[in-house]
């Protein structure tokens, strides 16, 4: 948005509510603007004062005779609309409302009034109820944070003003600089979406970091994040999301509903869009460090240089666990190392240059290793020995990084002794960590982002061969009968209408019907109880397997009697006879649920009766592309089972993908579907597809 420049590039700022009282918010903002190097014009607005920090005070916005780019409002919430109306009528197009007392305090009507005024005058607004914004390049501190951070390439967006001040304090100590820094508050007008669109075009911003508590508008948000994180010049977006353990879906009639918590939708949004999730503040800083100091290149094949064997081995363990690959050094590189290192040194990865290594030995190893075409990235580990040249070693690493341009990180393990080296690395934009495991994790995230940035974003293709009218009729008939929970027979009919491969099945309500159906099928069958009161049939003893045609009558009566005994309160409608699946495969679960904020969520994972125990499932958000589904499958812990293990043949991945996309289409076409389970979906070997073995649907 063009008007955002009037906030971040403001040449003149009016502070309405400028106060002469020290340590008040209105006073601190004027002091920050006046004392931290801002060269633009400052107009404090206070009818009871004549001067503040060397700047004349004005009784009102209207009394300012010069043009104002940005108005900062720090007055009681009740009069904020009046101030905004005045500013808008004067042509002021940028605003920050610091004041609280709006939606967050139960006064939504005030916030709505402010929003209407901004729409009327096309005012770009940050807030209300926020800390403000900082642009270090202009020394513009339009906030009540005391610290002016150094200039850098990181843009930070936060929904928490209090966290902002802590981040600023920590970042300064870590040598992290910012291109833009902002607290968005209630997001009455401008939220993350508009700010991301602005930062996408900001040449000073290389990395975007965010703290969020709640997000909305998932589709446009996903689109802008994908735009920023892919292509020839991708920018990583690192998000620290609170509320991971918030209340889930509560009581549910399906596995999907039981497994879908509030956080599942965010995980899906981040994964599909390419955003990087930080689990805690420490990770947030680690990821900021690795991205702000390194090019977005492959870090897959990682080499480790260390003066201590133990930390080197620990680092290799982390490499393997995190998904990177220990780089294999070429014979030429090993020959170079042999000439430069002691006989007792290890010439293989991790390269142990021995505890008495001085800076020249580190430098020689760095030159040899980083020149190797088989090395994508490098981690240098240093422990402080009596002869270790900490500062000179740090300088050697800085020189090598600048020369070779590959992603590098350092782990300087210690406290006081390593501080001088750490300062050199931070001042020279080398990512340095206290422990090697943290460095490896950060490099792994860098590599994952590089691979994401190269990935082609798949198109959402139209699903063919669906019978929309058939499902409409099924739902209409069900509502008319007061049926909202679909037993398997009716659920299978819905799935079949959308091209999902179901087995031959029919419902028998009597012994005689069961015998006739079994004879017509002429194969072994499975019997499953039909009852709207029973969602998990196996728990009620409502499933019998491997039934021969001639056994159907007896098995029908046995099954009905068993369930009646186990669940005497349930109304039993009969038994579903389904052809017995002979082929073996991997049991998956597909599911769908409607999230109140994010819309349709689609689940896929390892199925069977232990799905809620193992919880190896992943969620996606509509709309889904083929590529999105493949990424979902790749993120499963059980993905190796799909590829074939212990002699089993690989499963039909394309058939799994097609089933997920058809389910997604069904959920899109029928938003009244509240919950849906297909469990199990049997994934057969390549060429044989998948089969729906059981299903349930709940509609609103």
Q: pLDDT tier at 347 (50, 70, 90 boundaries)?
A: very high
Q: What's the whole-number mean pLDDT along residues 469-487?
A: 87
Would you say 201 and 179 are in contact if contact means Cβ atoms under 8 Å apart? no
Query: Domains (ranges, CATH) in the chain?
Result: 2-205 (3.40.50.720), 295-454 (3.40.50.261), 516-578 (3.30.1490.20)
Average pLDDT of span 142-155: 94
Q: Mark out the alpha helices in 455-522 (DSSP H runs).
A: 468-480, 488-497, 511-521
pLDDT digits (tens, 9 = 90+) for 436-445: 999 999 999 9
Three-state secondary-structure class, residue 212: strand
- With a pLDDT cut of 70, the percent of the chain lying above it is 97
Measuring CA to CA, how many Å separate 258 from each of 131, 168, 582? 38, 40, 30
> Does 252 score more than 60 pLDDT?
no
- The share of the chain scoring above pLDDT 90, in percent, equals 74
What was the pLDDT predicted at 309? 93
Across the range 585-606, mean pLDDT stands at 89
Q: Which residues contact 677 (CB under 8 A, 6 or more apart)?
A: 254, 255, 256, 589, 590, 591, 694, 695, 696, 697
Q: How confident is the model at residue 258 (pLDDT cuts 50, 70, 90)?
A: low
Mean pLDDT of 476-486: 85
pLDDT classification of 53: cutoffs 50, 70, 90:
very high
Q: Is 371 left (phi over 0), alpha (psi -120 to 50) or beta?
A: alpha
SS (H, E, C) 70-92: EEEECCCHHHHHHHHHHHHHCCC
Half-sphere exposure of 521 (CA within 13 A, CB side): 29
Q: Which is higher by pLDDT, 552 or 306?
A: 306
Q: Quickly list H helices, 79-212.
A: 80-89, 108-121, 161-174, 192-200
Omega of the bond leading into 249 within 30 degrees of 0 (cis)? no
Tell me, what's the pLDDT at 247? 45
pLDDT at 262: 66
Q: How confident is the model at residue 253 (pLDDT cuts 50, 70, 90)?
A: very low
pTM: 0.89
Label the pairing between strands 431-433 and 485-486: unpaired
Q: How confident is the model at residue 245, as a pLDDT? A: 65
Digit-coded pLDDT (tens) for 387-425: 999 999 999 999 999 999 999 999 999 999 999 999 999
- Quick one: pLDDT at residue 658? 95
pLDDT in tens, 104-141: 889 999 999 999 999 999 999 999 999 999 999 999 99
For residues 1-27, average pLDDT: 92
User: How does DSSP assign 649-668, residue by residue?
Assistant: PPB-HHHHHHHHHHHHHHHH
166 pLDDT band, cuts 50/70/90, is confident
Q: What are phi and psi of 626, to 5 degrees?
A: -55, -40
Element (H or E) spanning 390, and its range?
helix 390-404
pLDDT at residue 207 in the model: 98
Q: Answer for the pair 214, 221: CB distance below 8 angstroms, yes or no.
A: no
pLDDT in tens, 516-558: 998 999 899 999 998 888 877 888 999 999 999 999 899 999 9
Q: Which residue has the tokens 């900082």?
A: 134
pLDDT tops 80 at residue 457? no
How confident is residue 353, by pLDDT bands cut at 50, 70 and 90? Answer: very high
Mean pLDDT value of segment 178-186? 95
pLDDT of residue 313: 95
CA 697 – CA 97 distance, rounded (Å): 47
pLDDT for the residue numbered 259 = 61
Structure tokens at 89: 């009528």
The mean pLDDT of 167-187, rounded to a whole number, is: 91
Exposed/middle/buried for residue 583 (C-beta within 10 Å: 0-12, 13-18, 19+): exposed
**What confidence score (pLDDT) does residue 248 get?**
41
Distance between CA atoms of residues 576 and 525, nearest Å: 10
What are phi and psi for residue 658, nearest 5 degrees? -60, -40
Q: Which of 251-260, 477-486, 549-558 has the lowest mean pLDDT?
A: 251-260
pLDDT surpasses 80 at 254? no
């Amino acid at each position: 948005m063009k008007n955002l420049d009037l906030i971040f590039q403001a040449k003149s700022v009016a502070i309405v509510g400028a106060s002469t009282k020290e340590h008040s918010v209105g006073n601190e903002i004027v002091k920050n603007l006046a004392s931290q190097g801002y060269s633009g014009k400052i107009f404090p607005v206070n009818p009871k004062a004549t001067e503040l920090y060397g700047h004349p005070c004005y009784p009102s916005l209207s009394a300012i005779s010069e043009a104002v780019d940005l108005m900062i409002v720090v007055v009681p919430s009740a009069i904020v609309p009046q101030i905004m109306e005045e500013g808008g009528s004067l042509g002021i197009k940028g605003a920050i409302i610091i004041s609280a007392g709006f939606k967050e305090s139960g006064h939504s009507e005030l916030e709505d009034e402010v929003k209407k005024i901004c729409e009327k005058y096309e005012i770009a607004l940050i807030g209300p109820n926020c800390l403000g914004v900082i642009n270090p390049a202009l020394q513009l501190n339009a906030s009540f944070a005391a610290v002016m951070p150094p200039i850098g390439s990181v843009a930070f967006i936060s929904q928490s003003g209090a966290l902002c001040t802590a981040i600023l304090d920590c970042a300064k100590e870590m040598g992290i600089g910012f291109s833009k820094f902002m607290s968005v508050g209630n997001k009455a007008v401008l939220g993350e979406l508009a700010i991301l669109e602005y930062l996408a075009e900001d040449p000073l911003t290389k990395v975007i970091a965010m703290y969020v508590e709640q997000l909305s508008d998932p589709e446009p948000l996903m689109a802008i994040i994908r735009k920023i994180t892919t292509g020839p010049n991708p920018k990583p977006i690192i998000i620290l999301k609170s509320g991971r353990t918030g209340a889930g879906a509560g009581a549910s009639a399906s596995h999907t509903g039981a497994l879908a918590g509030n956080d599942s939708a965010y995980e899906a949004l981040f994964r599909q869009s390419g955003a990087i999730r930080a689990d805690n503040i420490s990770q947030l800083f680690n990821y900021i460090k690795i991205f702000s100091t390194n090019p977005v290149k492959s870090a897959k094949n990682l080499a480790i240089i260390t003066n201590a064997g133990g930390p080197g081995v620990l680092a290799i363990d982390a490499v393997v666990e995190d998904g990177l690959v220990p780089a294999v050094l070429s014979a030429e590189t090993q020959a170079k190392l042999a000439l430069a290192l002691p006989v007792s040194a290890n010439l293989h990865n991790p390269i142990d240059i021995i505890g008495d290594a001085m800076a020249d030995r580190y430098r020689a190893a760095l030159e040899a290793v980083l020149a190797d075409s088989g090395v994508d990235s490098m981690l240098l580990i240093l422990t402080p020995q009596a002869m270790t040249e900490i500062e000179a070693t740090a300088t050697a690493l800085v020189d090598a990084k600048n020369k070779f341009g590959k992603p590098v990180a350092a782990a300087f393990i210690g406290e006081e002794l390593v501080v001088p080296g750490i300062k050199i690395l931070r001042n020279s934009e080398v990512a340095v960590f206290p422990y090697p495991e943290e460095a490896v994790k950060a490099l792994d995230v860098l590599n994952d982002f590089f691979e994401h940035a190269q990935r082609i974003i798949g198109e959402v293709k139209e699903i063919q061969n669906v019978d929309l009218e058939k499902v409409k009729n099924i739902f209409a008939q069900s509502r008319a009968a007061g049926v909202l929970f679909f037993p398997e027979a009716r659920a299978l009919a819905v799935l079949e209408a959308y091209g999902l491969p179901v087995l031959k099945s029919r419902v028998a309500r009597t012994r005689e019907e069961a015998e006739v159906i079994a004879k017509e099928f002429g194969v072994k069958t499975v019997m499953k109880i039909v009852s709207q009161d029973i969602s998990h049939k196996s728990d009620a003893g409502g499933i019998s397997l491997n039934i021969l045609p001639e056994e159907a009558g007896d098995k029908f009566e046995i099954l009905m009697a068993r369930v009646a005994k186990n669940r005497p309160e349930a109304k039993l409608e009969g038994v579903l006879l389904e052809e017995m699946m002979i082929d073996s495969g991997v049991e998956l679960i597909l599911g769908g649920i409607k999230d109140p904020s994010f819309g349709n969520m689609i689940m896929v994972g390892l199925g069977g009766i232990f799905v809620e125990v193992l919880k190896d499932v992943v969620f996606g958000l509509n709309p889904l592309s083929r590529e999105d589904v493949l990424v979902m499958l790749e993120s499963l812990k059980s993905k190796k089972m799909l590829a074939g293990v212990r002699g089993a043949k690989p499963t039909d991945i394309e058939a799994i993908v097609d089933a997920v996309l058809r389910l997604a289409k069904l959920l899109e076409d029928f938003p009244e579907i509240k919950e849906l389970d297909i469990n199990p979906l049997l994934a057969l070997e390549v060429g044989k597809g998948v089969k729906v073995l059981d299903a349930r649907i709940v509609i609103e």
